[in-house]
Amino acid sequence: MTLTIQKAYKEILRRQDKLEAAFDVIKQLVDSEFEDSHIRASALRKWEKISREMDKGKGTFFNSPEEARKWLRNF
């Protein structure tokens, strides 16, 4: 039984590493894309706050894609 759990755990760790690598690539792409753009400091602070809250398990939930679009437009 423990061998099966160890294999499953190793698979989870492998997937986690793969996802973290993919996120790093996405972050680099976004950083390079917006490197020269003019992002307001206030908007950047809001996004950083949202990111910190998401890391803590908090977040904003939407019942429909339209609600999400409306939230983003008002951001």
Q: What count of Cα atoms within 13 Å lies in the side-chain half-sphere of residue 34?
A: 9
Amino acid identity at 22 = A
Confidence class for position 68, pLDDT limits 50, 70, 90:
confident
C-alpha distances in Å from residue 75, one per residue of 31, 42, 52: 20, 11, 17
- Between these two residues, 36 and 75, which has the higher pLDDT value? 75
Domain ranges (residues) in the chain: 1-37, 39-75
In the prediction, which pLDDT does 42 show? 79
pLDDT in tens, 11-26: 999 998 888 888 888 8
CA atoms of 44 and 20, how far apart (whole Å): 22
DSSP label at 56?
T
- What are the pLDDT digits (tens) for 6-61? 888 899 999 988 888 888 888 887 777 666 566 677 777 888 888 888 788 787 77
